[in-house]
Chains A and B, each alone.
Chain A
Amino acid sequence: MSIEWYIVLSALLFSTGAVGILIRRSPLVILLCLELMLNAGNLALVAFSRMVGNEEGQVFAVIVMVVAACEVVVGLGLIVAIFRRRLPLNVDDLRELRG
């Protein structure tokens, strides 16, 4: 299979994630969409790695997974904290940082 398929799939996944972030209000879904975008990136990295023929891209992909795991931990922690203070789980309502 040529590289284009992988890239197209990766772009589709990335766009799905981006659109999800822009239109959904639930922080949980936004986190999922973020994961989607990261993994779209991973897919592209692995595909390019295969195309070039060395392992550097795969190493990057592994690092991205680690980052993604960390991010999920923090993100979920925040969500749990918000939930436990009985605040609405809606990012549009959480706008105390308005300038």
Chain B
Amino acid sequence: MSATAWAWLVLLFPLLGSIAIALGYRALPAKAAGIIGTLSIGLAFACGVAATISLLGDEPHSRHHASSLWDYASVAGLDIKLGIFVDPLSLFMVLVVTGVSTLIHLYSYGYMQSDEGYHRFFSYLNFFVFSMLLLVLAGNFVLLIVGWAFVGFASYALISFWYRRETATKAGMKAFVINVVGDIGLVLAAFLIFREVGAFDYGTVFERAPEVFTTNEWTITAICLLLLVGAFAKSAQLPLHTWLPDAMEGPTPVSSLIHAATMVTAGVYLIARTHVLFELAPTAADVAAFTGLATLLVAGTMALVMTDLKRAIAYSTMSQIGYMIMGVSIGAYSAGMFHLMTHAFFKALLFMAAGSIIAAMANDQNIDRMSGFGKAMRFTSITFVCGALALAAFPSTSGFFSKDEILAFAEARGGMYVIFTVLGYVGALLTAVYAFRLVFRVLPGRPCAEAQELIDTGHVAHEAPKNPATGEPEDTDVGFPGAEHHIAEQNWPMRAAMGVLAVLALVGGLVQVPDVDHVITNFLHPVFEASIFEHIHPSPRAEWIGLGIGGAISLLGIGIAYYFYVARAELPRRLEARLRPLHTLFVNKWYFDELIDFLVVRPALATGRFADRVFERFVVDGLVTGTAETVRGAGGVVRAVQSGFVRSYALLLFAGFAGLALYFLLAS
């Protein structure tokens, strides 16, 4: 079978799974929904592997295939097909998405098993995977936008999964609104592309783009900036990032799958996919790179002070996506995609481990209350440390190789791009510190009450269910988290998923070791071979020096975290008091929510109120009631004539005729 046929099957299985679970939720027993959901994604992964094998059988130069099922619209020069585009880049994304999704479905099979909305959860989750695959396989900008909007909806539905929690529904709405801002950017970019190039499908657009646009011309810059609006909103980059921490209101597998491993990296994929356009608009690419850099530093500082376990990891996700955006914007495409893959492994793992710990804490997410889980939950702790090591770029783990490849590329590109290397290492130090801050605050120390209970009795803590954000009491019916909590130690599907990811997080980087092997670069090479940055290769010497610096920084960061949170645990409090303004700034997330509130929400509300008071009341109401009054008044005048006296009607008739006759007499 051809690669495209396999790719269609990749799309088909999650869609079928979603529909089957959604329609059969009454008939299917709970376990069946989880099995169908997991199996359908597993089959999609298998088809993705088959497609890759089939594609690798082709000549490197012809490793791109377009296929279409039918024409959406074919009128007046517009030719939109329901078509997919299969090349190494899209298959790379397919493999990452389906691979990680399979494991997270498996994890959810155990983790969500006492939730009343089990079927709904798997149906949404399969729908999300389908949408994400549609996004990465789309063969034209229209279908890309469809997938883009679908994942936005799936994200909304899953953030608000516990729909009776007000904080969750509000977070879902926030995510949806900010994502729609991005959608608008993407749609406008597609319109501009069509106006200039006259086509929507990738092949034609990328082929003609160098002829149509001159470098840095304003149209191509505008197109790329609009694409960036979409990418930033989806990938939670400054200043459109505020939805991501709030999205942690969703169930932990959702945070792991959508808000860490797959959906939020869509912006990175978009930039890599449209790299032909970005190379024609270096200004826009620089804007993207600097935004990525700013995000990675700002989010790193926020992750340092968050006391909510999941939110801290969410800021770390933002920060890591900052690296990827930076990478693909400066031309380090395969390095950016490589970091995307390793990040998917270790961040999904971190969230899974965090979910297990949170379950043991009876859904409490505050790290101030956690301690001593190292003893209570051995497996979870080991996997958590594996994830944190990879995140902190500990030597030989996956994050170590992928992060440094981006920074080495920036260094090799030279000029002002060295800034990215230097500040990237600063970010790496922050990363190591915040990653191990979490480890050292949660795992060692005297076990907290919940951990002690787990050690003594082997039972997971049970408290009266309440909203972890507000403390409001809840029940465990549908729309709220289920009654039972599940931890990896007592649940084999969770353990299996976390085990596989822990191994991948530790050794996943070995596919791309400088001077040894370049699996990902070679695989993606056909996509980027025409790139103007293809000739830039950091020398192996420079790469190894970079890796040395990265490793040292990682160890330094871990050391700092150890010093602050284990050796002298009272130090953070004192530092906090000394640097009060800085700490306040970080804890309040750099006041981004307030800034957006001040710049966008309040003006919009004020405009709305003004429009209501002035425009609506006077202009609109005036027009409507004015028309009514005019008609009524005119009717009143005419009504007087309708006296009911037949003879007066007759008189009017005669008078009219007489008048007409007189007129014609005078006129003739």
Contacts and interface: CB of A to CB of B under 8 A. Distances in A.
Q: Is the interface of A mostly helix, strand, loop or mixed?
A: loop
Contacts of B579: none
Interface in A47-99: 91-92, 94-99
A21 interface: yes
A56 to B, nearest CB: 23
A92 B642 contact: no
A22 B641 CA distance: 16
A99 B641 CA distance: 8
Contact of B647 (A21, A98, A99): A21
B652 to A, nearest CB: 11
Contact of B642 (A21, A30, A94, A98): A98
Interface in B620-656: 638-647, 650-651, 654
Interface residues of A, number: 14
A28 interface: no
Nearest to A23: B647
B650 A98 contact: no
A86 B646 CA distance: 20
A22 B645 contact: no
B643 A95 contact: yes
Contacts of B645: 91-92, 95
B143 to A, nearest CB: 63
5 contacts: A21-B647, A22-B651, A95-B643, A95-B645, A98-B642
Contacts of A23: 647
B641, B643, B644 — most chain A CB neighbours (10 Å): B644
In order of increasing CB-CB distance, the 5 nearest A-B pairs are A99-B642, A95-B644, A98-B644, A99-B639, A91-B646
Interface in A1-46: 18, 21-23, 25, 30
Contacts, number: 34
A15 B650 CA distance: 13
Task: Kindly state the interface size class of chain B when it binds its partner.
Answer: 10 to 19
B650 A22 contact: yes
Contact of B654 (A22, A25, A99): A22
A89 to B, nearest CB: 13
B651 A97 contact: no
Given A22-B650, A99-B644, 10 more contacts: A21-B650, A23-B647, A91-B646, A92-B647, A94-B646, A95-B643, A95-B645, A96-B644, A98-B642, A99-B642
A25 B651 CA distance: 13
Contact of B644 (A18, A21, A22, A97): A97
A91 B650 CA distance: 12
A98 B649 CA distance: 11
A18 B654 contact: yes
A9 B641 CA distance: 34
Nearest to B642: A99
A97 B642 contact: yes
Contacts of B651: 22
Contacts of B639: 99
Nearest to A15: B654
B493 to A, nearest CB: 81
Contacts of A98: 642-644
A58 to B, nearest CB: 25
